[in-house]
């Protein structure tokens, strides 16, 4: 069996990772701002509960890419002479800043303590990033990452399957394993925070216990990052990433029969299914970018069609925070009570076109463009938000 070893020299930058990150952020902004979410196209809405839509792939793909980037950024700093102690402090500082950004995004513009939401996208990223960063600095090998990722997924399944939910009973006996309100994740969140502090009042999609399998998602990215830093040929790396993706998707589908795919609970089957799709997307991106550039002997040039994605990919946190604050401003600062600044134009376009789902998509695309323009200005000026 071949041994996977990390390359001692700094590998060339994999532009396809930045492009995929940009695509992910762009799609995240698109689906988070539907205009009329209830009447948007199916693919642009989260699954109501069990199940999967393309929208459910956004967050895990970004978390998967965080795992990859953590490997590359850590190795780059070590190569520059940074000590592991300084990198631990850097990881802690970055996680704290991300968590703080999350509190601003969640609670802007009023910051009412009575409804303060602690959980959220950025807080989950911050926690997962800190955990895997510390883990990587302590143990940089891939085997420990595989073992812990498997432990996260199996451990979460055991908790959700066999631990009785107080007041409700044992999953699969007295209650379904993924019952919307009577599951261990929702029960625990209700006992940590009261209803006004939870996104869905009876539960939170980025709750405490479901952080465990989310760490598994980040570790899948970290394992991929370790593989990408090996000295294997790029074509071989791409091939095995695609194979791993197909296997992971298949395992997720099989596990779905006993532990249904569910984004809001971040079930173990969801981790494998979404993680497999992320691997396949990365392999496709590498084939379209790196392998194609190698064949055309233009490795120093970036294809022009990548630029829109690289704009978001190079300033992903800025673009996401901007989009969330802008959406909150539109909702919370109406022209007059109950009438947002976009209500009039939106209604006029809807009356002219008459297709609610299509008008919702037009609004989403316009919203993405509005967020892309200032991010492009920063990109052109080589200003990047570094945490």
Mean pLDDT for each 10-residue chunk of the chain (387 residues)?
A: 42 83 97 86 95 98 98 95 96 97 96 96 98 97 97 98 96 96 97 95 96 98 97 95 98 98 98 98 94 60 81 96 95 77 84 91 96 96 87
* Predicted local distance difference test score (pLDDT) of residue 7: 40
CA nearest to 20, candidates 75, 78, 63? 63
Q: What is the pLDDT of residue 3?
A: 41
356 with 350: CB under 8 angstroms?
yes
Residues facing residue 42 across a β-bridge: none
Domain assignments of the chain as residue spans, ordered by start? 15-380
Instruction: Please give the pLDDT value at position 300.
Output: 52
- pLDDT for res 211: 98
Cα 379 → chain centroid: 22
Burial 323-350 (b: 16+ CB within 10 A, else e): bbebbbeeeeeeeeeeeeebeeebeebb
pLDDT tens for 127-185 read 999 999 999 999 999 999 999 999 999 999 999 999 999 999 999 999 999 999 999 99
| Beta-bridge partners for 336 | 339
Strands, E assignment, 6-163: none
Q: What is the dihedral of CA 18, 19, 24, 30, to 10 degrees?
A: 130
3-state secondary structure of 325: helix
Number of H helices, E strands in the chain: 14, 0
Give residue 295's pLDDT.
59
Q: What is the pLDDT of residues 247-256, one digit of tens each?
A: 999 999 999 9
pLDDT of residue 11: 54
pLDDT at 292: 77
pLDDT of the residue at 4: 43
């Amino acid at each position: 069996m071949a041994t996977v070893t990390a390359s001692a020299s700094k590998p060339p930058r994999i532009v396809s990772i930045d492009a995929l990150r940009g695509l992910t952020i762009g799609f995240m902004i698109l689906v988070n701002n539907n205009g009329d979410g209830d009447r948007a196209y199916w693919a642009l809405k989260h699954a109501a509960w069990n199940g999967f839509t393309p929208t459910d792939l956004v967050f895990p793909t970004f978390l998967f890419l965080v795992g990859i980037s953590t490997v590359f950024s850590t190795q780059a700093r070590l190569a520059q002479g940074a000590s592991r102690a300084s990198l631990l402090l850097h990881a802690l500082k970055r996680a704290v800043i991300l968590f703080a950004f999350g509190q601003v995004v969640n609670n802007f513009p009023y910051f009412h303590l009575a409804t303060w939401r602690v959980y959220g996208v950025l807080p989950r990223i911050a926690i997962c990033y800190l955990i895997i960063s510390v883990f990587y600095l302590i143990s940089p090998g891939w085997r420990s990452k595989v073992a812990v990722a498997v432990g996260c997924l199996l451990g979460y399944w055991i908790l959700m399957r066999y631990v009785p939910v107080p007041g409700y009973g044992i999953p699969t006996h007295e209650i379904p394993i993924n019952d919307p309100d009577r599951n261990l994740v929702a029960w625990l969140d209700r006992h940590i925070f009261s209803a006004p502090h939870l996104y869905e009042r009876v539960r939170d999609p980025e709750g405490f216990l479901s952080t465990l399998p989310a760490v598994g998602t980040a570790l899948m990215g970290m394992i991929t990052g370790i593989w990408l830093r090996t000295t294997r040929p790029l074509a071989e790396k791409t091939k095995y990433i695609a194979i791993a993706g197909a296997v992971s998707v298949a395992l997720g589908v099989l596990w779905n029969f006993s532990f249904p795919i569910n984004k809001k609970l971040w079930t173990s089957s969801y981790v494998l299914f979404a993680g497999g799709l992320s691997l396949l997307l990365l392999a496709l991106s590498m084939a379209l970018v790196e392998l194609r550039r190698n064949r055309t002997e233009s490795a120093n040039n970036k294809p022009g069609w990548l630029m829109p994605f690289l704009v978001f990919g190079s300033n992903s946190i800025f673009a996401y925070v901007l989009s969330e604050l802008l959406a909150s401003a539109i909702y919370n600062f109406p022209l007059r009570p109950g009438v947002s600044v976009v209500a009039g134009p939106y209604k006029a376009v809807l009356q002219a076109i008459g297709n609610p789902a299509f008008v919702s998509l037009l609004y989403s695309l316009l919203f993405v463009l509005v967020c892309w323009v200032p991010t492009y200005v920063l990109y052109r000026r080589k200003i990047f938000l570094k945490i």
